[in-house]
Amino acid sequence: MKAHLVVVALSAALVTVAGPAQAKGCVKGAAVGGVAGHVAGHHGLLGAAAGCVVGKHRAAKKDKAAAQQNAATTNSNTNTTTTAPAKRTQG
| pLDDT tens for the chain, residues 1 to 91 | 777 766 776 676 666 555 555 678 888 899 999 999 989 988 999 999 999 999 999 999 999 999 998 888 887 766 555 566 667 777 6
Q: What pLDDT score does 36 carry?
A: 92
pLDDT for the residue 51: 92
Closest CA to 59 of 22, 15, 11, 14: 22
Rg (CA), the chain: 25
Query: What pLDDT score was predicted for residue 67?
Result: 92
